Chain A
Amino acid sequence: MRGRDTYGVAKDFVESEHGQIGCVNCHKGHNVGDKDEAHKDMTKDPSDEGGGGVCAECHEDTAASYKNAMHYKLTGILDIVGTITQPHKMGDTLLPAAWKLDCNDCHASCGSCHVAWPEVAKGGLLDRHRFLKTPPMEKTCYACHGSRFGGEYRGLLGATADVHYEKLQMVCADCHTANQLHGTKPADSKRYYDTETARCESCHPDAAKSGKSRIAMHNAHPDGTLACAVCHANEYFNCANCHVSLDIKEAGKIKVIFPSDPLVTFKIGKNIDITPNNPYKYNLVRHTPAKKDSLASLTYFQAVLTGSPGPKDLIANYDALPTWNSASVHSIQRKTKQNQSCNACHGQKELFLTKTDLVPEDPKANQKIIFNKIPAPVKK
């Protein structure tokens, strides 16, 4: 068929271990010939509830861990929204409704990686309902991480593909293991605070030994100074403004627009999220697509739907968080423009985030990320 395998179920799946459980035992509904009656009370995704749903009956350990995982709870996004909208109470706004309708689409159940396309990609079975132990990255991971990670990793955006893809065709799960994806430690932590994430030195242990390396540049930079990507990533993609806004110039005609300007950059910034797994003083930073009025449409809808407008300044605490943030850039190469020599980086103003990269509307927190003085050229 053209497009996506949406409803068809393979006969070999029916005969498999999972298939023999029987449709109605997971999905509920009714075992009758009439379509409407059959689908009555049906659960489309029986794996969602509580972080495991019906899967938890056999996969207890994974479900117990997954219920607290970042992919299930979207802790990072919740934390950001909760911070920038203070002191407003969520209940006084349309944020909970917007969360359900939109943001929460990125939340992943067991099924939305192992059986079906994620909700954000409009669902549909991945492979005739066969259970896929390793989710296919193009269909599942990239549904949510497609425009930046997926684009730069495969070389569709930015200067080059990632060497791990280009030479080895590695997939996401080769670095991001099932255990890491099925849990977040400590529970409720955000991305860079998760202590069990992919580490370059797991495969390249020698590279990380500053002072004992065969590579002079590794020895020249003390441990904890530079994230690996600062020297080994190429230019990468950023979204400059906001994700979604609404054109409501004409009454009754509402148009959803995506005004984000694409921005391909390479910027080294100060790391303000120093954690055991992101201990570096300097990291690459990527622009977060947010503006002070990014959620203005919610105020408009609140007025239309409830008759009373919500808070005018929904992102009242905009200054609290930067819009340039630590990035895990996926365009890694051994040789890059900036690692050719000391002075290919030192003294090269365009590589560093400075005040000239900021605009007056930026949040105050961006001041903590910029270099006031860039590293001077190295004298030979």
Chain B
Amino acid sequence: MMIGKKKLTLTSAALLGLACTFGIAGTVSAQAEAASSSECIKCHTDLDQMDAFGAAAASSSAGIAG
């Protein structure tokens, strides 16, 4: 019975560890991915600047659809 409980505790701890490791690793990895586009993000999240470009493009009318 003791062995069973110990096994269960160890398994739970191992699973918790795995979840933490992969969870953190996943976040770190995603942050790294986003960081690889830091310059793009810096420009494209400047909405005033982007809207100034957009206003010019939007002045041309939409296409004709069926």
Chain A positions within 8 Å of B, measured between CB atoms, are: 1-11, 14, 19-25, 29, 31-33, 35, 38, 105-106, 120-122, 124, 128-129, 142-148, 239, 243, 258, 289
Contact = CB atoms under 8 A, between A and B. Distances in A.
Contacts of A7: 44, 50-51, 53-54, 57
Contact of A20 (B31, B45, B63): B31
A5 B53 CA distance: 10
B39 A25 contact: no
Given A3-B59, A8-B51, A38 B34 contact: no
A23 B42 CA distance: 11
A129 B59 CA distance: 20
A173 to B, nearest CB: 18
28 contacts: A1-B58, A2-B55, A3-B54, A3-B59, A4-B58, A6-B53, A7-B51, A7-B53, A8-B44, A8-B45, A8-B46, A11-B45, A20-B31, A20-B33, A24-B37, A24-B40, A31-B36, A31-B40, A32-B39, A122-B57, A122-B62, A122-B63, A124-B57, A143-B63, A145-B66, A147-B66, A148-B66, A289-B66
A140 to B, nearest CB: 11
B11 interface: no
B37 A1 contact: no
Contact of B47 (A8, A14, A120, A122): A8
A23 B37 contact: yes
B8 interface: no
Contacts of B65: 106, 120-121, 142-147
A2 B37 contact: no
A8 B36 CA distance: 19
- Main SS at interface, chain B: helix
Contacts of B40: 23-24, 29, 31, 38
A32 B37 CA distance: 8
Contacts of B53: 6-7
A25 B36 contact: yes
B44 A24 contact: no
Interface in B13-36: 30-31, 33-36
A81 to B, nearest CB: 14
A6 B57 contact: yes
Nearest to B51: A1
B10 interface: no
Given A9-B44, A147-B66, A20 B36 contact: no
Given A7-B50, A144-B65, 17 more contacts: A2-B55, A3-B54, A6-B50, A7-B51, A8-B45, A8-B47, A8-B54, A11-B45, A23-B44, A24-B36, A35-B43, A38-B43, A106-B66, A121-B62, A124-B58, A143-B62, A145-B66
